Structures are given as C-alpha cells and as structure tokens.
C-alpha cells in the first residue's frame, strides 16, 4: 500500500519576520517609500499619520483632539498614538510582518514598541532613517498636494501630476493640506528635532540604517534596498 505524500507548510519563524521602521522628518518621503517597500516585501505599511487623519475626517473624539493639535504643527500624546498602533498591529494582516511609517517619534514610544514586540515574540525592528536637510524639507512640503478622493500624494517639484492640478488616478482636483505652509512646517521640524532626533542615538546600536534622502524617489528607494541587504 502506497502512503500518500503529506504536504507540509513551512512557516517563517517569528524571529525572521520583517518588522521595519521608517523614521525621518516631515516631508522626507516616508509615505512614498513605505508604499513601495510594503509592496516589495508583501507586508502592510502602517502610517500613523493616515490613521490620525482618518480619525479627524470621521469626527471622532480622538479626531477632534488631533485636529486642534495638528493644525498648529504639534504632536499627539504618546499614550494616544501607542494605543492606535497597538490596535493596528494586532490585526491579521500583520502576522507576516509590517512596516511602520512615522512611528515611533519619541523614546517613550520606542520603549513601548520594544515591549510590545517582545510580548508578541517578534524581533526588534530594523530602522531605516531617511535623512534630508531642513531647507529642502520646507520646499518639498510646501509643494505637496493630495487627492481628497483617493488619497494619492503628489509634489509639484519631485512628483508632479501628469495633468496640472488633477489626480493621475481619478482626475479629482488636488488640494493642499492646511498644515503644509512654511510657518507650520518650521514648527513641525522644531518639534521633530526636539522629540524624535534622540531616536537616532537610541537605535544606533541596533539594526539601524541611515539613507540619504536628498535624491529623487527612485534613487532613495534603491538606497533603502541596498541598506536592507
């Protein structure tokens, strides 16, 4: 009697699952690179900024608090952001790994994430730091436009739409976020330097990779892939 072969499924050990962090100042291109990396690695890209903007659009209690803070360029409290992230990475699409875009932004958030990953038996993150000078960031951010219909992001300098003022995907007229003006951007960069820059020292001894973010999106993406190798 011939015994039928039994197929086996080899699962990736949790210690080898990709847990990536993209950090860098506002306007450095984290969103664009996160989307490409997530597709390349077949993992979800989790943007705290997009989640918070969703709360604001829905008019939730958290969204109302967030609206008052973000319009002036401030940052939400660590506790609130931690809760949002913990709930998100508990979802089923994160079992094969995930990428966090814009989180953590403080040592307290980094410590919280480290403990959360340890509790889940996941590896400590590989950190990709996209570094761009402040003057270039201000120019980039003030030129940023978004589609209010499908959420696509454009930049009039580095990634303009094919048709001026219209979304490439759905043709909707593009808009500018209220907080994408020079004064607010400078305030956001000051807040970033104060609260987030210490993360560089925090992660430097671990799996930390610095990438020059001054080039175009294709150049930066190639640099990130090379750094991850």
Instruction: Name the residues annotated as catalytic.
Output: 30, 105, 144, 177, 188
> What is the three-class DSSP state of 29?
coil
Closest of 66, 213, 77, 79 to residue 136, by C-alpha: 213
CA 185 to chain centroid, in Å, comes to: 17
Q: Is 102 in contact with 75 (CB distance < 8 Å)?
A: no
Cα 138 from Cα 136, distance rounded (Å): 5
Residue 42: is the preceding peptide bond cis (ω within 30°)?
Answer: no
Query: Could you tell me if residue 197 is left (phi over 0), alpha (psi between -120 and 50 degrees) or otherwise beta?
Result: alpha
Q: What are phi and psi of 162, to 5 degrees?
A: -65, -35
Q: What are phi and psi of 99, to 5 degrees?
A: -125, 130
């Amino acid at each position: 009697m011939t015994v039928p072969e039994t197929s086996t499924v080899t699962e990736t050990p949790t210690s080898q699952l990709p847990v990536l962090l993209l950090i860098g100042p506002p306007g450095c291109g984290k969103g664009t690179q996160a989307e490409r990396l997530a597709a390349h690695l077949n993992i979800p890209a989790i943007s705290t900024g997009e989640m918070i903007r969703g709360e604001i659009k829905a008019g939730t209690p958290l969204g109302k608090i967030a609206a008052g803070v973000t319009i002036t360029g401030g940052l939400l409290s660590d506790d609130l952001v931690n809760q949002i992230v913990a709930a998100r990475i508990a979802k089923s699409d994160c079992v094969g790994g995930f990428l966090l875009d814009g989180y953590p932004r403080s040592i307290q958030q980094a410590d919280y994430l480290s403990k959360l990953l340890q509790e889940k038996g996941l590896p400590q993150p590989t950190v990709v730091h996209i570094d761009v000078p402040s003057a270039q960031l201000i120019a980039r951010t003030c030129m940023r436009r978004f589609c209010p219909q499908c959420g696509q992001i454009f930049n009039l300098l580095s990634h303009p739409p094919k048709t001026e003022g219209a979304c490439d995907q759905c043709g909707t007229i593009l808009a500018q976020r209220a907080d994408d003006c020079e004064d607010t951007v400078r305030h956001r960069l000051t807040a970033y330097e104060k609260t987030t820059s210490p993360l560089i020292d925090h992660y430097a001894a671990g799996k930390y990779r610095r990438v020059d973010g001054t080039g175009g999106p294709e150049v930066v993406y190639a640099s990130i892939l090379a750094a991850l190798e």
